[in-house]
Amino acid sequence: MKKTELLVTPISVDDIMPLAQAGADAFVIGEQRYGLRLAGEFNRENVKKAIELAHSVGKKVYIAMNAIFHNEKVDELNDYIRFAADAKADAIIFGDPAVLMAVRETAPNMKLHWSTETTGTNWYTCNYWGRKGAKRAVLAREINMDSIVEIKENAEVEIEVQVHGMSCMFQSKRSLLGNYFEYQGKAMEIENRNQQKNMFLHDPERGTKYPIFEDENGTHIMSPNDICIIDELQDMLEAGIDSFKIDGILKSPEYILAVTKIYREAIDLYFEDPDLYEDKKDEFLETIEEIQPANRPLDTGFFFKETVY
């Protein structure tokens, strides 16, 4: 059985080698002009450096081009795809068919990962995009474990699942926070908004806080809890899920590094002997709970919930 890939979202080029040494197999990077909700901003020079570093130790780099594109950016797609291909990126992550069409024109041999955050909910849709050229489908965060296993059993493409980190609950292409601050006479520079880690939408009735940040793609309201499935990986590992993603958005490099080490140990232990993982999985969870920020409770997302729309 092929070992499941551990996919991590670094914040900067400086994180590539430490994360590789910690056990990351692949990285998602890019710039906010083309990619959604990235943990860090990588300009073209940094993309090249990150790919060179990752490839030097046998790791992969995937370039995010999964933003929501309007007409004014369509003419830029071919140039950025050509850049990614020349930089030897291992794959491009897309959601918009415009990217798929541009890849066919510019870099037909480029591997494609289909990712829309919300519509990867059944195996038939995954296979539809597979037949259009995608080699991997990224599943939605809002489906349960049984659905994930069933999708994998019927998929003609690789399957990626997020196993750790926050997820997006709402996105608007409008700069809602920026417009509010400007109305208040407190203008904020858009390039700095996604670095603001202390902006929250408060829900006094439920006693929760939803992190908010803005980038070039608009306003994003994130989940109040972090997904953590470190102690429930066995069903997906047994099913042969191809990639587990740790999303480091709004997290520190130190936190991402520590979590990567723990998931690496858990995956390796399962492939060594599933019983060894079973014996230690509670300890893995306790270790993550010890480093978890106080304002970010852990939960299992929708993995064990009935999905209600």
- Rounded to the nearest angstrom, the gap between the alpha carbon of residue 292 and the centroid of all alpha carbons in its chain is 19
Q: Judge whether residue 191 has pLDDT over 80.
A: no
Taking residues 214-238, what's their average pLDDT?
Answer: 86
The strand pairing partners of 221, in sequence order, are: 170, 212
Lowest average pLDDT, out of 122-131, 165-174, 248-257, goes to 165-174
**pLDDT, the chain, mean:** 88
Cβ–Cβ under 8 Å, residues 244 and 161: yes
Residue 20 parent element (H or E) = helix 16-22
- The pLDDT score that the predictor gives to residue 180 is 44
Mean per-residue pLDDT for 278-298?
A: 94
Question: Does the pLDDT of residue 30 top 90, yes or no?
Answer: yes
- What letter would DSSP give residue 300? -
What's the pLDDT at 195? Answer: 47
Helix (H), strand (E) counts: the chain: 12, 14
C-beta separation of 158 from 243 below 8 A: yes
What's at 182, amino acid-wise? E
CA distance from start to end of the chain: 35
Spatial separation of the C-alpha atoms in residues 140 and 6, rounded to whole Å? 18
pLDDT at 193 over 60: no
pLDDT band at 202 (very low <50, low <70, confident <90, very high): low
Q: What angle do CA 135, 90, 213 make, to 5 degrees?
A: 90
In three-state secondary structure terms, 65 is strand
Rounded Cα distance, 224 and 201, in Å: 10
Structure tokens that stand for 251 in this block: 């997290």
pLDDT of residue 188: 41
Contact by Cβ (8 Å): 209, 203? yes
Task: At 262, list the tokens.
Answer: 């723990």
